[in-house]
Amino acid sequence: MLTFLALTSVALLGIVPEQSQAIAIYTGWERHALVGSDIRLSCSFFSWRWTSEDVTFSWTYRPDGSRDSISIFHYTGGAAYVDNKGPFRDRLEFVGNPGRRDGSILLKNLELNDNGTFTCDAKNPPDIVGRPSSVRLLVFEKVPIQAGVITGAIIGVVLGLLVLIVVIYYLMRFLVARRVFSLSVSKHGKKKKEGSQQRQLWTPPPLTCYPLP
């Protein structure tokens, strides 16, 4: 899990001196969601100390375009306190596991006004020096189409049809030459270079420079 990976990566860097103990907090970088859906914002931390009983998690929210943060969640002393007055009242739920250093919250029924930055701050006494980590939430009305998806799809379909037509054409020529189909030979072959080769024994002309896929 995350703590194990963090431990091994730090161990590879060498022995960490005693003074530089700091708590490292991990959230996502950016989260996308649709209006009306639920989203889980994860927050976990790495600390050299064992998880103490006084571990605290707190989440603050700063709307897009605003400079003020509002505190929306706090976990301390074994109890979780969710927002009951602010923009997320009745929409916030604590789904984390403090014993496993997980302080994730669940936001329900997202609105367009919920766009903003969510900051998670965790403290694991006596390891309290650390930098909070932020995750940006983007709420969309409908899933935006990535640039180039439709372009590539149209080009692919048309070129695929072209290749298909070429393949079918050569297949038909091959099958007529093998007498599988009894098409009238004089009608077959739009290429004028075969126009004069209307014989019973019809050999396909050499395949020169027609573009093959």
Partner 1 sequence: MLLLLLGIIFLHLAALVLLFVSTIVSVWTTGESTTSDLWINCTTSGCSPASTGEWIQSVQAVMILSIIFSCLSLFLFFCQLFTLQKGGRFFLTGTFQILASLFVMSGAIIYTVMSPEWVPEGNSFGYSYILAWVAFPLALISGLIYVILRKRE
How many chain residues interact with partner 1 (CB under 8 A)?
A: 24
14 binding partner 1? (CB under 8 A): no
146 binding partner 1? (CB under 8 A): yes
159 binding partner 1? (CB under 8 A): yes
145 binding partner 1? (CB under 8 A): yes
Of 179-198, binders to partner 1 (CB under 8 A) are: 190-193, 195-196
C-alpha span between 183 and 170 (Å, rounded): 15
Pick between residue 126 and residue 195 the one whose CB is nearest to partner 1.
195
Q: Which residues, at least 6 apart from 115, have a Cβ–Cβ distance to it below 8 Å?
A: 63, 64, 137, 138, 139
Q: By CB under 8 A, which span of 89-97, 110-118, 120-128, 153-161 interacts with partner 1? A: 153-161
Q: CB of 212: closest distance to partner 1 in angstroms?
A: 12
Q: How many CB atoms lie within 10 A of CB 104?
A: 18
CB 59 within 8 A of CB 80: no
Pick between residue 13 and residue 212 the one whose CB is nearest to partner 1.
212
Dihedral sign (CA 14, 17, 23, 24): negative
C-alpha torsion 118→83→45→52, nearest 10: 160
Contacts with partner 1 by CB under 8 A lie at: 144-155, 158-159, 190-193, 195-196, 208-211
